Structure 1
Amino acid sequence: MAARPSNRLKAFADLVSVDAWHDAFKGKRKGVDLHADIVFGTARVGQDTDVAITFRLSVTRADVVIVLPDGEPIGVDPSSVRRDDPHPTVKRTQTFETKSEGAITAKVKAELGVEPAASFAANAHVSSGVTNTEKLVATTTAPPVLVTLSTTADGSYRWTCTPLTGRKLQGRGWDAATEPCLKLLDGRKTESHLIAPTVRIEVGCLREDLIIEDLELKDPTIWETVRHRTGFKNRMAAAEAYIRNELMAHGLKVGALDQRFSPITLADVTAEPRG
Structure 2
Amino acid sequence: MSANESNRRRAFGEVVSVDAWHRPFSNQNPTADLHVDVTFSTGRVGGEKSSKVSFRLSLRRAEIVLVLPKTEPIDIKKSSIARDHRGIEGKKTLLKERKHSAGASGSVGVAVTTSTVSANASLEARGDSSISASEKVEIEEKIQLMVIHQSKTHDGNYRWGITPESAQTLNGKPWEAEAFPRGTLIDTRTDKNKGIPPTVSVEVRCLREDMIISDIMIKDEKKWDLFKKGGSQKAKLAAAGSYIRDKLILEGLEFESVDERFGAITLTSVVAEPESET
Instruction: Normalising by structure 1, report the TM-score.
Output: 0.78
The verdict on how the C-alpha distance between 1:271 and 1:135 changes in structure 2, with shifts beyond 3 A counting, is farther
Q: Is residue 20–residue 273 contact of structure 2 (8 Å, CA) maintained in 1?
A: yes
Output the CA distance in 2 between the equivalents of 1:60 and 1:219: 30
Output the CA distance in 2 between the equivalents of 1:191 and 1:77: 17
Partner of 2:50: 50
Output the CA distance in 1 between the equivalents of 2:87 and 2:211: 28
Partner of 2:19: 19
Instruction: Normalising by structure 2, report the TM-score.
Output: 0.78
Higher strand share: 2
- Which ranges of structure 1 fall in alignment gaps of 5 or more residues? 226-231
Higher helix share: 1
Matching of residues 78-117 of structure 1 within 5 Å: 78-85=78-85, 91-95=91-95, 102=110, 105=113, 114-116=115-117
Runs of 4+ in structure 1 over 4 Å off? 86-90, 96-101, 124-129, 133-138, 191-194, 222-225
Partner of 2:40: 40
Q: Is residue 196–residue 273 contact of structure 1 (8 Å, CA) maintained in 2?
A: no
Letter in 1 for 2:151: S
Output the CA distance in 1 between the equivalents of 2:44 and 2:109: 48
Partner of 1:141: 142
Q: Displacement, 1:150? A: 0.5
Secondary structure in 1 matching 2:204: strand
Identity level (%): 40
Letter in 2 for 1:212: I
Q: Displacement, 1:188? A: 0.5
Q: Is residue 143–residue 172 contact of structure 1 (8 Å, CA) maintained in 2?
A: no
Letter in 2 for 1:240: G
Q: Displacement, 1:138? A: 4.9
Partner of 1:228: none
Q: Displacement, 1:258? A: 1.4
1:50-91 per-position Cα deviation (integer Å, ceiling 9, x unaligned) = 323221101111111111133232111111100122799774
Partner of 1:152: 153
The verdict on how the C-alpha distance between 1:101 and 1:91 changes in structure 2, with shifts beyond 3 A counting, is farther
1:175-213 per-position Cα deviation (integer Å, ceiling 9, x unaligned) = 101000000011102255552322100110111111111
Q: Displacement, 1:221? A: 2.5
Matching of residues 1-275 of structure 1 within 5 Å: 5-9=7-11, 12-85=12-85, 91-95=91-95, 102=110, 105=113, 114-116=115-117, 138-191=139-192, 195-221=196-222, 223=224, 234-274=235-275, 275=277
Secondary structure in 1 matching 2:237: helix
Q: Displacement, 1:142? A: 2.7
